[in-house]
Structure 1
Amino acid sequence: MSQGQQSNQRRTLSQKKKKLVFWNVLVKLSLPFPTDLNITCEEKSVTVIWKLPNELGVQPSRLFLGKCLPTNFSSGPDGAVAMFHVSLTDCHFKRVVCFVVYLFIYLFIFSSTFILRPPHWHPHMPILSSGSAIGFGSLLFYMGIMNENFSGPARSTSFFLGSRIPIWAAVDQQAHMPLAVFIEECVATTTTDIRTASHVYPFITNGGCLVDGKAGSSKFLPRDTKSEIFLSLQAFKLGAGEKVYIHCKITAWDPELLDENRKACNYIKELEGWELLDDPTQSDLCRCCDTSCSSWKRNFRSLSQNAVLGPLTIEDVNLK
């Protein structure tokens, strides 16, 4: 065989190899509990069926493929099943090129007792999200619009006027000491940029005072763990048929060192006064809710994160 023919043959073999591209090669973390994964890889997407035992008390809001929540979730006597159907360009997958093989590395996370993340890994912080937001500094914060019983993400971001909007926020403590999460400030606007908003409705002010509860039925709900907080917000009217965006500041703090700037206060109409969510015996911290709470704050900027949820649609049932 001549040198030219050998060169052509090598070129042909090289071209054939380039066609043998494994677009989806799964690299899975080892999880410290029994699990069952079924992965279907396609050219531009991946479908994952993840089965978990009931004893984990699994909630879909704590399951992630990369930074993506489940597309569908169900639970039954035999356990919970989470399904993810996502594009390879979503969820913060990591693309690695090794010769002619493309590896897409997927990170499976069960966010509860177990924190399963490699060192220095952080998800992307979306500026705007239809149902959830994730941010990071030295901590990881999460915020989302949930379904009625807070067992998973909301299927819709449309709400009737006067109904409740379930909102969840959490902090991933990682290696930190135990922390409590608080929603310090929240306003609703009709724009993604609060600086250009013509309609602004503050409903949490003064470092955690749920002022919307004075006239309506909004309230912080009891929590089992300090690293999560649950808000039942009464849907309000803001503008005429406009989309609504919720801008919040989330803070993590030592649960033993509450002060006027880091608290969760409900207005109790029967008592005509304010009550501290986590310890009613310390409700004096809420007395400033009707005036102005101290502006002095300890300098721990890395313990806070801003988040934006929306757009939401608030519909008036009387106009239908």
Structure 2
Amino acid sequence: MMKWTALCLVALLLYGSFCDAQRFQEIIGQSPHDHQQGKQIIERPLQWSFPADPTTRPEILIPNEIRHPASANSVAVNCGENIVQVIVQKDMFGIGQYVDPRHLTLGSCGFVTEDIANDGSSVIVFQSEVHGCDSSLSMTQDSLIYTYDLKYNPEGVVMRINRAAVTVECHYPRIHNVSSLPLIPYWVPFSATKVSEEFLYFTLKLMTDDWQHQRSTDVYYLGTSIKIEASVMQYFHVPLRVFIDRCVISIRPDPTSNPNYAFIENGCLVDGINSASKFMNRDADDKLRFELAALMFQGYENERLYITCYLKATSINHGINSERRACSYSNGWYEASGVNEACNTCDSSGPASSGQSTFVNYNPGSTSGSAGSGQRVSQSGSRMQTVTHIHFFLSVMEWESQVTLEIRVHQNPDA
């Protein structure tokens, strides 16, 4: 009985499964025989593929050569009788890099100043006595040879220019006068040539009242102001500052002839103590202007007058002091460049005249003159005579010149 019951249950389950399958086939509209699993047919081949590796454009190789610095003609020497001047271009290696002057030495000597050469390049100037800067002396049959070591030794953590050493030589003939045949080797700029000639152009000019032009006449009247400009033409030399050490008026070209009157002494315009004479404020180092109240010698009213001034010039790197100054008096002494302490000793430079002569100075409202006034001479503002010397004063190089002007001073017709 149990076996037949189990068989009946199995038969019922199989019948139920068959009925469910038939009903499903009817729903989808297919017969059980039509429902077969098959492969999917692809009408077109697949187009996708793995991306290719990127390609780079081939680089164009440009020939590149290592640039080696060319030899630079950057060191020049001027061999003088007593002085040697070495001029070094700041672009010493010709690579567009300036050397630091503080790291450049000539033997045991540092540089003196920086300058501009005639081609516009920046240069470093060394200057020494022939025997200085640890120079060494050697001799040949015909020459004395002084040798100097120019060294560049950069300091600091970063170094952009190599160390360098250059040998500089000065050759002097043994059998000739050294001052007459100095040998100047290598490149020599125009400024160095002027120094070797020991000559600079100093001038005195009579100027118009506005200081803009040179005056066309040398005639003045008592009571007027004579405007004079002293200057030094320095070419491409180290910038210079001009001074007037002394000025004397006389009736002859010889400033020591009698009568004479010194109206500038030791850089102090002492004539301004008793007149309106004064230095103008300096607006350029190579020029110095001053005004002088017109005057004449008593008893020499119709004589020509000669103004002789002793000019000197030094590098602008040297300061203004009691040896180099331009002082005027107006309720006290003051200096044309504003360094008034340089005038402290002007009180000891009083007016000095010789020949027991007095000067006639025009005072409005009076026909009589007062003693102690200055007088000038000019030759239409042109340089009459110039004698230039070069010397050293306490290691300072100075150029000196004596310049003379010729003028005429007449009585004021309206007085």
TM-score (normalizing by structure 2): 0.40
Residue 319 (structure 1) shift: 7.9
The one-letter code sitting in structure 1 at the alignment partner of 2:322 is E
SS at match of 1:303: strand
**2:248–2:264 CA contact under 8 A, matched in 1:** yes
**2:272–2:328 CA contact under 8 A, matched in 1:** yes
Cα deviation per residue 1:84-124 (whole Å; 9 max; x = unaligned)?
Answer: xxxxxxxxxxxxxxxxxxxxxxxxxxxxxxxxx899589xx
- Is 1:278 aligned to residue 337 of structure 2? yes
| Selected match of 1:260 from 313, 316, 322 | 322
- Is 1:306 aligned to residue 383 of structure 2? no
Task: Give the structure 1 partner of residue 273 of structure 2.
Answer: 214
Cα 1:166–1:283 shift into 2, 3 Å: same
- Is 1:316 aligned to residue 411 of structure 2? yes
SS at match of 1:284: helix
Alignment partners' CA distance in 1, 2:254 and 2:395? 26
Alignment partners' CA distance in 2, 1:143 and 1:299? 28
How many positions carry a matched residue from both structures?
A: 181
Task: Give the structure 2 partner of residue 290 of structure 1.
Answer: 347
Residue 301 (structure 1) shift: 7.2
TM-score (normalizing by structure 1): 0.51
* Structure 2: runs of 5+ lacking an equivalent: 1-189, 351-391
Cα 1:176–1:120 shift into 2, 3 Å: closer
- Is 1:200 aligned to residue 260 of structure 2? yes
**1:220–1:230 CA contact under 8 A, matched in 2:** yes
Task: Give the structure 1 partner of residue 219 of structure 2.
Answer: 158
Cα deviation per residue 1:256-315 (whole Å; 9 max; x = unaligned)?
Answer: 4212121000101xxx21011102xx312111111159xx954767511100000x1111
**1:249–1:304 CA contact under 8 A, matched in 2:** yes
**1:219–1:231 CA contact under 8 A, matched in 2:** yes
**1:248–1:307 CA contact under 8 A, matched in 2:** yes
| Selected match of 1:178 from 222, 239, 242 | 239
**2:191–2:237 CA contact under 8 A, matched in 1:** no
**1:139–1:302 CA contact under 8 A, matched in 2:** no
Cα 1:319–1:201 shift into 2, 3 Å: farther
SS at match of 1:261: coil
The one-letter code sitting in structure 1 at the alignment partner of 2:325 is K
SS at match of 2:295: coil
Cα 1:252–1:119 shift into 2, 3 Å: closer
Cα 1:260–1:118 shift into 2, 3 Å: closer
Cα 1:237–1:189 shift into 2, 3 Å: same
Residue 254 (structure 1) shift: 2.9
* Structure 1: runs of 5+ lacking an equivalent: 1-116, 123-135
Residue 179 (structure 1) shift: 1.4
Alignment partners' CA distance in 1, 2:240 and 2:191? 21
The one-letter code sitting in structure 2 at the alignment partner of 1:314 is V
Residue 214 (structure 1) shift: 0.8
Alignment partners' CA distance in 2, 1:299 and 1:186? 26
Task: Give the structure 2 partner of residue 224 of structure 1.
Answer: 283
The one-letter code sitting in structure 2 at the alignment partner of 1:222 is N
By relative contact order (CA 8 Å, sep 6+), the higher-ranking structure is: 1
Alignment partners' CA distance in 1, 2:279 and 2:247? 13
**2:334–2:340 CA contact under 8 A, matched in 1:** yes
SS at match of 1:290: helix
Alignment partners' CA distance in 2, 1:165 and 1:137? 31
Residue 177 (structure 1) shift: 2.0
Cα 1:121–1:284 shift into 2, 3 Å: closer
**2:265–2:349 CA contact under 8 A, matched in 1:** no
